[in-house]
Amino acid sequence: MNLNFDVLEDSCSGYLEIIRQINPQYDVDQIETAYRFAWNAHRNQKRKSGEHYICHPVAVSIICAEQSMDSTTIIATLLHDVVEDTPITIASISDLFGETVAKLVEGVTKISHLHVEDKATQKMETYRKILLTTAQDIRVIIIKFADRIHNLRTLDHMSPEKRKSIADETLNIYAPLANRLGMRNIKIELEDLSFKHRYPDDYEEILMIISASQHQRDEIIESFRIPLVTELFNAGLDAQVFGRSKHFYSIFQKHRNRHVPYSEIYDLLAMRIICSSREECYRALGIVHTLWTPVPDKLKDYIAASKSNGYKSIHTTVAGPQGHFMEVQIRTWDMNFLAEEGVAAHWRYKGIASETKLEDSSPIQWLRNLVEWQKEFSDAVEFYEFFKIDISNKEITVRTPKNKEISLPKGATALDFAFAIHSEIGIHCIGAKVNGTVEKPSVELQEGDVVEILHSFDKKPSLQWLQETRTPRARSAIKRWFHRTEKKGRAAIGKKLLYTSFNNLHLKRSLNSFIPVILQHYSLESEEQLYDRIGSANLEVRTVLEYVKKKNGYEPGASMNRIMNTLTGNAPKVSVNGMESVMVRYAPCCHPLPGDTIIGFLTNGRGIAVHRRDCAHAKIFAHDRERSVVLTWHDENVADMKSKITIQGTDRVGLISAVTDLIEKKGVNITELHCSTAGQRAKITVELEVKSLNQLKKLKRDLVHINGISRVTRDEL
């Protein structure tokens, strides 16, 4: 890239010419605007090499252009460092280039609001941010990969320690992530560039060996390729055969893992057969095994059972007549394209004749699962450890009895499988049927196993489970269970302490009548939290009782007429003991509706709280005659009131749209909607505005008739 970055006009015209040559369809006007903006933003900045800083975003944008990314990505790539390295804000980017560009730039911008001493945490938070934004737009990680590739290509001006650090990070995080997303070409370049800086002596040795034996390797490949091409042609197969050598880092890994010299690594050569159909792939496999002797245990059929990153291909290794080994990969053109480009192929060519759409592809589902899983972790450090293990482990694929594939790290147990299905299944696991044989929860699973989890609701986890699980998701769920159990134990102790001490005061009123004011005074959200604070010694019983004695002058059993005269509020909707009430509030825990059987409770200064009689919170105070009041609906023709429902069913394209369309068709307003998926299951929680219980019941009946929906329930809490 020979551009004169000293002069804006010269560099801009030269850059745009390169962009036009790569793709004449680009929006050159917008790209030019972005280029000029970036050039001015970075005009006084230099790289370690002494080059103008603008050369970096320009090079990164060209890498993205060579990957056939769209104009929006090119613009975002030109701007990807301006927020991080200049005073320019995301808001300014959004105003000038639109919200999509701004979101892409924000997605790749490091988190910098943490303290300097928290550099490690800051980096982990940045990883989490990149992954979560990638789940929303895959272009974020493509920009980040291009950014990392150019940094590795120009790493020579860094100190040896910095080069080692960046190379290690790439080999541990970015290359495995590219592999997890199925982007083999990106993975290989990241690995080989990092290998060069991390292990320079080994890199030079392999480079010399490969260069010295190039002619010999070409001859070996041709000795396999020519007879194979002939046999494929004679069989009437429309297939092409390509020979190649393994990339440098792959050779280094074989050397390190097998503890043998480079000269004794024989399986450095590979051939790829590209066929027109799946059926032809299997016919080609038969021809390969007819020509040469297959090596035992080296046949892998990733077409029948694809890898978790969506990779599909047949792998086999054969031995030729002169003792040379050759790895052979067999796949279709679509499989090959997706194997090389991964999720980028889906984005770049939305019309690709692929069996799987981008939103349904395994890598995207994995990213979406990360979004859900990250909610289970207490901080970025815990999430980072989970993520690093998840992308680095070799995988096995096991199946449920209904033939659903579950990907797990090698060495995973039946317990890991149980937690991968659902946390509650894991918590109550007592064993598993593996290929029809009953096994212990700790049994290690193998590739292709069919697993059925056995569970009992009487079963509870043990600390030993932490030693018998391999997946961070399982271990995290087990730890959370123990934490919740310990918390319940503390709460039980705290409750007993408070009630016992309160009874010694011999007050006329019950403790329940003081609970709401105690919670309000100590800014607590629930009784459970109050009892937990006491049980864990974070709140002294003595302090609580002193406050109770101060509040003892308040008499909630005063006459209803006096209360009615002092409270003011909205127009009545319920009747209290046959009289119209004035100040009521409808409890958000159970969302009572006209038609529900209701009960009311006096609250301190907040009037009467209206609950459904079957509400769990209402049952706590139902026995307190001094606070409870009899309520009936005064007027059932009221304005819209809030209610919540949960819809469960099988996940499919268009499910949310079908639900919202029906609700709107029935004249019901949606105020809030949340959707989550777990495997093939979907859960949709909707907050609605309805006029009555009868209207809600009719809506529930109609929703159940939507294809894929199995259950609709009204939320209590």
State the catalytic residues.
Answer: 84-85
C-alpha 484/C-alpha 101 separation (Å) is 43
Structure tokens at 166: 């960046």
- Strands, E assignment, 357-413: 395-399, 405-409
- Cβ pair 600, 576 in contact under 8 A: yes
**338: buried, middle or exposed (CB in 10 Å: 19+, 13-18, 0-12)?**
buried
**64: buried, middle or exposed (CB in 10 Å: 19+, 13-18, 0-12)?**
buried
At residue 612, φ and ψ (nearest 5 deg) are: -65, 145
Chain-centroid distance of CA 214 in Å reads 44
In this structure, is the dihedral angle defined by the CA atoms of residues 525, 531, 535 and 539, taken in order, positive or negative? positive
C-alpha 425/C-alpha 461 separation (Å) is 11
C-alpha 278/C-alpha 268 separation (Å) is 27
Structure tokens at 434: 């593996």
Token pair 């105070």: residue: 621
Structure tokens at 475: 């271990």
* Strand bridging mode 405-409 / 395-399: antiparallel
What single-letter DSSP state applies at residue 311?
-
Rounded (5°) CA angle 652-654-656:
95
Q: Taking Cα atoms as reference points, which of 213, 207, 295 lies closest to residue 251?
A: 207
Residues sharing a CB contact under 8 Å with residue 36, sequence separation 6 or more, in sequence order:
8, 12
C-alpha 264/C-alpha 260 separation (Å) is 6
C-alpha 51/C-alpha 568 separation (Å) is 73
Q: Taking Cα atoms as reference points, which of 350, 557, 304 lies closest to residue 448?
A: 304
Q: Say whether 270 sits in a helix, a strand or coil.
A: strand
C-alpha 581/C-alpha 563 separation (Å) is 10
- Cβ pair 589, 651 in contact under 8 A: no
C-alpha 446/C-alpha 428 separation (Å) is 22
At residue 44, φ and ψ (nearest 5 deg) are: -100, 15
Rounded (5°) CA angle 274-279-282:
70
Q: What stretches of 613-689 show up as alpha helix (H) in DSSP?
A: 616-621, 655-665
